[in-house]
Amino acid sequence: MTIKRIDHIAIVVENLDRALGVYRDALGMAVTDVREMPEQDVKMAFLPSGDSEIELLEPLHPDSGIGKYLAKRGEGLHHICLEVDDIEATLADLKAKGSQLIDETPKQGAYGKIAFIHPKGAHGVLVELVQRDA
């Protein structure tokens, strides 16, 4: 199995429009999409940079997982996502090496199969793995 690239970096924000004032307007990054994703309880903006992108996440409800995260930790880095060529093999490898996983098996995400490694197993950073749909 191979890590192909940093797929995206997700930042949780209180207000997407205010955050776009920085990332789009001040930094001049292009925004390819702004979308509400009720099933993940977020409103998202996608800002590609090179082979990766920044995702800005605004929780839709304060009582959701990500809403509680924002209330507890404040705005900031939520997770990084690594694209892998074979997510099953990557998870099996991590398990064999004793990593702390949130998802032992992949689930279907917006653009492919995803799984999360617990921050406790990744030196304080929530790490998402994605195997993009062909």
66 binds Co ion (CB under 5 A): no
Q: How many residues bind Co ion (CB under 5 A)?
A: 3
Nearer to Co ion, 71 or 111 (CB): 111
- Is residue 50 classed as helix, strand or coil in its secondary structure? coil
Residue 112 near residue 130 (C-beta atoms within 8 A): yes
Nearer to Co ion, 10 or 91 (CB): 10
Helix count and strand count (H, E) for the chain: 3, 8
Name the helix (H) or strand (E) containing 95. Answer: helix 87-96
128 binds Co ion (CB under 5 A): yes
Which two three-digit tokens encode residue 13?
């924000």
**In angstroms, what is the minimal distance from the CB of 86 to Co ion?**
19
Using the contact rule CB under 5 A, the part of the chain among 45-53, 65-73, 89-97, 122-130 near Co ion is: 122-130
Binding site for Co ion (CB under 5 A): 10, 81, 128
